[in-house]
Amino acid sequence: MALHSNRNSGHCSLSLAVERESRFLIQNEVGEMSTAVDERLDASRRYQYALASDDKTSHPCYAALGDACAKSELMIDLLVSVPLQQRNAMLIFAALHYQALRGHAQLAPLYGSLGGANCPSPEEFARRVIDIVSNDPTVVSALLTRSTQTNEPGRSAVFQAVLREMYRRGIDEVNLIDIGTSAGLNLYVDHYDIVRTPLRDDHDAFTLSYESLNSADLPGPLPTIRSRIGVDLSPLDLRNDDDAMWLRACLWPENPSRLDRLNAIGERLSDWPTLTLIQSDALDGLEKALELVNPDASTVVMHSWAAAYFDPELQKNFAERMRELVRLKRVSWVYLEWPRGVAGLQPPAPRDVAPRPGETQIVVALAGGEPQSWGWCHPHGRWLSLSPASGPKA
């Protein structure tokens, strides 16, 4: 089984790569026994490669936890018990983090010590976590009906760049429909300031700083957003305590700045426009959302790190419907996805090589046009290489 460890995005891309391979193995099974062995090997590798090499350096305790889980029969059992489409090491890590945030007697102080003077060594952290789960596996298993729902506002920096380019092409008012929206934080794409160089002090929650790698990413106005509609199998509301805790749990505890941003957004939400969140599968939700848009504005259907969680059949059907809507000029389609995780969408061939690992492809189909590759970005929007293709004008 070839692994794509050099291309791990830092949160789930490799897991998804392994996922595709495991499907292949399952389809080619020669007997129940070998399938079970393959599944366990696959689960072990999902833990082992859950973090990219540079993320391992900056998140040593999570890295050690991944390595220790990869060798633990119990942690492998727990991951194998998760349905394939959600079988992501990050789901297990989020479950543990969630229990810590909820005040679990042993996990709370252990996670609370991360980054502080009493922080154990990474290996000791991992050993203690696995001991806690060994004593009571329900700490994790009780939460495995949930899914990885990391909502990353950093991706709004990339959506802004695309929307600015759309404005330059004459699209001055839009309805946004975000598929797989989680808590809908990227529907507030116009509520974040942008700085095109990475800031050393990254603590202004409402300023997204990123490295802009080419000159096509130009300043300029954004279209006015007329409606903001999110679709998700399980939409989250940051104002609901339990939803907020799950969103925090999906973040990595050794990176407090993303947590600070989420908390700050939570405090600001009551001042921001109300979102329409539709609890639905991507395809049905898309149709429901289309009924709600303002007919005087152009509609943009967007998604980021969401289609990778659709099964292959849904990816194919969703893409077919989107191509039809684009052809009919009813919508434009913008997505940020890891191409190898969304083969069913048939992403367009890239026009250039991704400049860095963690490649997330920016794909845009303007109403009446074809899906085209508009470049690459970091999975959390920390860098952007934009190369807008020519296409129909509004």
Q: Which residues bind ligand SAM (CB under 6 A)?
A: 147-152, 155, 180-182, 186, 231-234, 281-282, 304-306, 309-310, 314
The CA distances from residue 128 to 45, 256, 300, in Å, are: 21, 22, 47
To ligand SAM, the closest distance from the beta carbon of 382 in angstroms equals 14
Q: Which residue in 96, 97, 68, 90 sits closest to 16, CA to CA?
A: 90
Amino acid letter, residue 215: S
How many Å apart are CA 310 and CA 299, to the nearest integer?
Answer: 22
To ligand SAM, the closest distance from the beta carbon of 392 in angstroms equals 26
Nearer to ligand SAM, 134 or 240 (CB): 240
- The H or E element containing residue 241 is helix 241-249
How many Å apart are CA 36 and CA 241, to the nearest integer?
Answer: 38
To ligand SAM, the closest distance from the beta carbon of 73 in angstroms equals 28
Nearer to ligand SAM, 125 or 252 (CB): 252
To ligand SAM, the closest distance from the beta carbon of 310 in angstroms equals 5
To ligand SAM, the closest distance from the beta carbon of 297 in angstroms equals 22
Nearer to ligand SAM, 131 or 284 (CB): 284
146 burial level (CB within 10 Å; 0-12, 13-18, 19+): middle
Beta strands in the chain (DSSP E): 173-179, 193-195, 207-209, 211-212, 224-232, 276-279, 298-304, 332-337, 360-365, 372-377, 383-386
Q: Which residue is nearest to ligand SAM (CB)?
A: 180
Nearer to ligand SAM, 152 or 217 (CB): 152
Q: What sign does the CA torsion over 328, 168, 372, 347 have?
A: negative
How many Å apart are CA 183 and CA 165, to the nearest integer?
Answer: 26
**Is the CB of residue 95 less than 8 Å from the CB of residue 128?**
no
Nearer to ligand SAM, 15 or 72 (CB): 15
- Quickly count helices (H) and strands (E) in the chain: 14, 11
How many Å apart are CA 367 and CA 394, to the nearest integer?
Answer: 8
To ligand SAM, the closest distance from the beta carbon of 50 in angstroms equals 14
How many Å apart are CA 155 and CA 150, to the nearest integer?
Answer: 11
To ligand SAM, the closest distance from the beta carbon of 148 in angstroms equals 5
Nearer to ligand SAM, 98 or 309 (CB): 309
Strands 276-279 and 211-212, bridge-based pairing: unpaired
To ligand SAM, the closest distance from the beta carbon of 59 in angstroms equals 18
Nearer to ligand SAM, 299 or 304 (CB): 304
Coil, strand or helix: which one is 118?
Answer: coil
Nearer to ligand SAM, 92 or 110 (CB): 92
Nearer to ligand SAM, 207 or 280 (CB): 280
Nearer to ligand SAM, 125 or 335 (CB): 335
To ligand SAM, the closest distance from the beta carbon of 92 in angstroms equals 15
How many Å apart are CA 193 and CA 219, to the nearest integer?
Answer: 11
To ligand SAM, the closest distance from the beta carbon of 149 in angstroms equals 4
